[in-house]
């Protein structure tokens, strides 16, 4: 255990700065809870107006405490916090937790205060938890250093789940709910604004903690994605699953997270893709968050073939239906399973749910079906539903589940309020769920659980050289024009539609230039000052001849000049007409929370209306790009759906992978880039970029 881990979770001495003697005050609670849960170290209330607080000698300031303070917990009104922190630094306190709010989460003034705070800490040996943090609990060491009122609960169960929460209140709620069902934690910590100690740093402490086997995150945002990716890999190597419950899945929730904790305004979908990419399993049902660790502790997923068995048709259907809504179709019992059961005198059908009915509600039948399911290599996990018998007769169908010795996951759903059966199953380490949505969600998360992906190291000197031609001279970024952007994509290796560039005056075009064009063609105005060409009449399709081209260009000039009199017209872009099967948008950008992301979806407004876009941290390999393509519903049209002609999915995957590498070059950094549209031709005929955009970040 590092000295920091010790100072945070197992301090030998704690100073409670702002400890109140009034037991109705929140600032009286940590002292009370530490005593109640048997804190074994030394406790120092800091309160300049009192000689004694709750039976302990009080000190005017932390510098007056006669021993070295490992952990100081600050509960002062905002305006007194900085002075107290200065004291702590002076006293060489190892970890300072600031419960007070009014910092990074509180607008510009708060941000300034937080910056000042960090100035005070800079260069010191003191580390900071918070501000706006509700404290830490280490159940194995009897440390309950928090003002959360649920700590009034006696006999909190000890366990192996380490919880890191961006919400202090929810840390308490999860602890309380776990205690009610006998689910224990090792350590719990509320991180507040993460001004210093981050979620990632705490994950590493949990990885190193021998009492923690499963790591849980209750998060609203990601503050350091590179670091979190690194420690998630460490957790994976240590075989410690990380489960996350994430706020901000809806647009309004995302907006709240920003105002609530000063979170970065990233997109919820990017964070979701990021967590999945680093091997963190996202649990979407709140109740499942408590019961899922038992499922994830068992084994990693080998596939998503889930067998379903039940003593009750209705209860079984409840689970099968909830799984179906999450795109998990339970697997019918394999023929080999049915044959082996038949040999044991048990006949089951091939419906996706094995409904044993009342007649099969006994240990022999239920046990045999479960055993054969678990022994089958065609089944990756089993969901076992038990109906009314589970309330008063666990010996019937619950006992054989408890007795099972397979390490293959069995998720149990009990239809009635069967407390004794729940207890038996939990004691045996078997995941048991009381809500059908929780059961289905945990299974979904388990089947979707992946090992952290190692991001490829890509070096494209040729592309860097291209980008360096446009290196911004100052701190503001630069938007390349269409021709420059397309040159970058061409340099990456993505085929472009044929283009001919013509000057700004149609009258002076040479006959040979115009004759060499392949008709029918597309005419576009070329101007960095016209970002939305279509809207000002700057695009014309289906031009059939040279004379039509000249006429169209003349008309276009008039229209554009009328709409944007000050636009500098560089000339005209003429492009061959390409008819493909689909027009796709491939883009990269930097999400404020989750970092560089690659996205792909159908072009046009429907992708936005349906939110039908696949996202991944960039870069991605072609294999990963194929996985992305399969996530976009609209792309089913390109893969043989209803006998529609197949598109060149391989070429699309290659293009996605190439575009994603733009985020790895560090000549001038790419802020954002997209090809829109990228036309997908028939299988074997490739893709063609028709238009593109590259925006470079300003210099550092």
CB of 145 to a copy of itself, least distance (A): 15
Element (H, E) at 300: none
| CB-CB contact of 348 with 338 (8 Å) | yes
3-state secondary structure of 120: helix
Cβ proximity to a copy of itself, 255 vs 479, nearer residue = 255
Cβ proximity to a copy of itself, 13 vs 312, nearer residue = 312
CB of 50 to a copy of itself, least distance (A): 22
CB of 321 to a copy of itself, least distance (A): 3
Cβ proximity to a copy of itself, 351 vs 464, nearer residue = 351
CB of 227 to a copy of itself, least distance (A): 23
- Residue 514 sits at φ, ψ, to 5 deg, of -70, -35
Cβ proximity to a copy of itself, 215 vs 418, nearer residue = 418
CB of 640 to a copy of itself, least distance (A): 12
3-state secondary structure of 233: helix
Taking phi first (over 0 means left), then psi (-120 to 50 degrees means alpha), and beta for anything else, what does residue 256 get?
alpha
* Strands, sheet with 95-98, edge to edge from the N-terminal-most edge strand: 42-46, 13-17, 71-74, 95-98, 127-129
Cβ proximity to a copy of itself, 257 vs 696, nearer residue = 257
- Extended beta strands in 316-456, E state: 353-355, 381-386, 410-414, 432-433
| CB-CB contact of 587 with 673 (8 Å) | yes
Cβ proximity to a copy of itself, 527 vs 637, nearer residue = 637
| CB-CB contact of 471 with 668 (8 Å) | yes
Locate 458 and state its tokens. Answer: 């890509």
Residue partners of 38: CB distance under 8 A and separation at least 6? 142
Locate 656 and state its tokens. Answer: 């996605």
Cβ proximity to a copy of itself, 321 vs 623, nearer residue = 321
CB of 26 to a copy of itself, least distance (A): 6
Q: Would you give the DSSP letter of residue 359? A: G
Cβ proximity to a copy of itself, 134 vs 696, nearer residue = 134
CB of 660 to a copy of itself, least distance (A): 25
Instruction: Dihedral sign for Cα 29, 31, 33, 35, please.
Output: negative
Taking phi first (over 0 means left), then psi (-120 to 50 degrees means alpha), and beta for anything else, what does residue 517 get?
beta
In whole angstroms, what is the distance from residue 263 CA to residue 285 CA? Answer: 22
CB of 534 to a copy of itself, least distance (A): 11
Cβ proximity to a copy of itself, 67 vs 152, nearer residue = 152
CB of 193 to a copy of itself, least distance (A): 12
């Amino acid at each position: 255990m590092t000295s920091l881990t010790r100072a945070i979770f197992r301090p030998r001495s704690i100073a409670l700065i702002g400890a109140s003697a009034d037991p109705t005050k929140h600032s009286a609670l940590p002292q009370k809870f530490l005593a109640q849960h048997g804190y074994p170290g030394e406790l120092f209330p800091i309160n300049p107006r009192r000689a004694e607080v709750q039976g302990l000698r009080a000190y005017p300031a932390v510098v007056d405490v006669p021993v070295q303070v490992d952990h100081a917990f600050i509960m002062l009104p905002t305006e007194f916090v900085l002075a107290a922190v200065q004291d702590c630094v002076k006293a060489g306190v190892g970890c300072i937790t600031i419960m007070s709010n009014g910092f990074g989460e509180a607008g510009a003034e708060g941000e300034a205060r937080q910056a000042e705070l960090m100035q005070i800490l800079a260069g010191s040996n003191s580390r900071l938890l918070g501000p706006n943090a509700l404290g830490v609990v280490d159940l194995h060491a009897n440390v309950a250093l928090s003002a959360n009122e649920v700590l009034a609960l006696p006999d909190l169960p000890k366990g192996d789940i380490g919880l890191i929460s961006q919400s202090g209140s929810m840390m308490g709620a999860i602890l309380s709910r776990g205690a009610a069902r006998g689910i224990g934690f090792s350590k719990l910590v509320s991180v507040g604004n993460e001004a210093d100690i981050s979620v990632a740093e705490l994950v590493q402490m949990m990885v190193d903690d021998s009492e923690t086997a499963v790591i849980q995150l209750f998060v609203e945002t990601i503050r350091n994605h590179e670091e979190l990716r690194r420690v998630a890999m460490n957790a994976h190597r240590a075989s410690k699953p990380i489960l996350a419950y994430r706020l901000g899945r809806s647009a309004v929730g995302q907006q709240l997270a920003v105002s609530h904790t000063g979170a970065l305004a990233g997109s919820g979908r990017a964070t979701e893709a990021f967590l999945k990419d680093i091997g963190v399993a996202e649990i979407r049902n709140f109740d499942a968050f408590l019961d899922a660790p038992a499922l994830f502790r068992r084994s990693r997923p080998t596939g998503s073939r889930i067998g379903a068995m039940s003593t009750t048709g209705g209860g079984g259907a409840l689970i099968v239906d909830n799984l179906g809504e999450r795109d998990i179709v339970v697997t019918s019992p394999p023929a080999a399973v049915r044959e082996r059961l038949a040999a044991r005198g048990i006949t089951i059908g091939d419906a996706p749910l094995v409904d044993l009915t009342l007649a099969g509600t006994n240990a022999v039948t239920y046990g045999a079906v479960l055993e054969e399911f678990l022994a089958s290599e065609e089944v990756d996990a089993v969901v076992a539903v038990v109906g009314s018998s589970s309330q008063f007769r666990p010996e019937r169908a619950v006992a054989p589940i408890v007795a099972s010795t397979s390490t293959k996951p069995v998720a149990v759903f009990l239809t009635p309020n069967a407390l004794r059966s729940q207890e038996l199953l939990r004691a045996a380490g078997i995941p048991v769920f009381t809500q059908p949505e929780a059961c289905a969600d945990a299974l979904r998360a388990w089947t979707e659980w992946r090992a952290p992906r190692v991001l490829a190291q890509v070096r494209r000197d040729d592309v860097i050289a291209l980008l360096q031609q446009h290196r911004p001279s100052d701190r503001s970024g630069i938007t390349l024009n269409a021709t420059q952007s397309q040159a970058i994509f061409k340099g990456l290796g993505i085929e472009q539609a044929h283009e001919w560039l013509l000057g700004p005056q149609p009258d002076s075009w040479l006959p040979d230039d115009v004759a060499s064009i392949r008709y029918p063609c597309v005419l576009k105005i070329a101007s960095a000052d016209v970002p939305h060409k279509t809207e000002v009449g700057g695009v014309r399709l289906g031009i059939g001849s040279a004379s039509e081209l000249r006429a169209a260009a003349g008309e276009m000039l008039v229209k554009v000049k009328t709409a944007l009199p000050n636009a500098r017209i560089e000339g005209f872009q003429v492009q061959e007409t390409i008819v493909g099967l689909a027009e796709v948008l491939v883009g990269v950008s930097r999400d404020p929370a989750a970092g560089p992301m690659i996205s792909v979806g159908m072009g046009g407004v429907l992708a936005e209306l349906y939110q039908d876009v696949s996202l991944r941290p960039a870069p991605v390999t072609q294999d990963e790009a194929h996985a992305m393509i399969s996530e976009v519903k609209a792309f089913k049209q390109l893969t043989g759906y209803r006998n529609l002609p197949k598109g060149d999915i391989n070429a699309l995957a290659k293009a996605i992978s190439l575009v994603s590498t733009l985020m790895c070059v560090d000549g001038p950094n790419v802020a954002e880039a997209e090809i829109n549209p990228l036309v997908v031709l028939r299988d074997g005929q490739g893709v063609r970029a028709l238009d593109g955009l590259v925006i470079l970040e300003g210099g550092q």
